[in-house]
Amino acid sequence: MDRDVSNFSLLVLIVFVMIPFTISYFYQLGLKKDILWSSIRGALQLFLIGLILTYLFNLEPMIGIPIMLSVMIIIATFHARKKGKELPNVFLTILSGLIVIEIFVLALWLGFDMVSFTPEEIIPMSGMVIGNSMVAMGLSLERMKSEFSTNQGKIIAALSLGATPKQASHLSVRRTLNAALIPNIDQLKTIGLVQLPGMMTGLILGGVEPIVAIKYQLVISISIFSTVSVSAIIVSLVMYRFFYNENMQIVDLDERQNKNG
């Protein structure tokens, strides 16, 4: 693409930021600080990542790609674990989950020649997979905590009838998975109809033929669809165990967190 967005045009973006800022001011939403901070932070992050990407793209792929993927996975893990910090081993579960997902996706992409092993392709596409998996894991953790809290009576009833934690959690795990998968299914159903997906838009703006852009979009959309499902399953099937102790009793998460300091 020959065109560039001028620095002046970028400055004009402030107008877009001022719209939610003004809404927050008039309706006293208390979000002014958040709006300003997230806009500035987002812009700085993007410029910083632009510089890092330029540097990494110039490195050997075998060096640049693993460095960037590791950084993305670690940041995503720190972010997703916030949603379930009362639970033990949450960091390790998310970290290993994201590593497994990334290896699985890379194996498919490279094994079937969908993507070439270059930083320009692997890093942005992996970023999308890791980012979406991070969101799915965080949402699954949140949903699972709320399911266990809402259904605690039913879980105790099931345990008291002789159910194992796995059996007693069946309903909550099923609902968590449902909640994680349904938005994804809906998104895939309306893909391209309601909005053009980000990657495809980027490629078309970059001058790529729409049909080629669609092929890439399909690779990434189906990959995200699958990895989000795997993320939700990993979180649900591993984390439910931490709601119980070794004697098949429900644990008080706050009490445990206080004990662990």
CB of 243 to other proteins, least distance (A): 14
Q: Contact between 164 and other proteins (CB under 8 A)?
A: yes
> What distance in Å separates the CA atoms of residue 116 and residue 14, rounded to the nearest whole number?
37
Burial of residue 133 (CB within 10 Å: 0-12, 13-18, 19+) is buried
CB of 240 to other proteins, least distance (A): 17
Smaller CB separation from other proteins, 176 or 231: 176
Q: Contact between 157 and other proteins (CB under 8 A)?
A: yes
Q: Which of 153, 193, 194, 259 binds other proteins (CB under 8 A)?
A: 153
Q: Contact between 251 and other proteins (CB under 8 A)?
A: no
Q: Contact between 150 and other proteins (CB under 8 A)?
A: no
Q: Which of 17, 36, 163, 251 binds other proteins (CB under 8 A)?
A: 163
Q: Which of 6, 9, 54, 160 binds other proteins (CB under 8 A)?
A: 160
Q: Contact between 179 and other proteins (CB under 8 A)?
A: no
Smaller CB separation from other proteins, 81 or 143: 143
Q: Which of 89, 116, 201, 249 binds other proteins (CB under 8 A)?
A: 249
Q: Contact between 247 and other proteins (CB under 8 A)?
A: yes
Which residues contribute to the site for other proteins (CB under 8 A)? 153-154, 156-164, 167, 171, 247-250
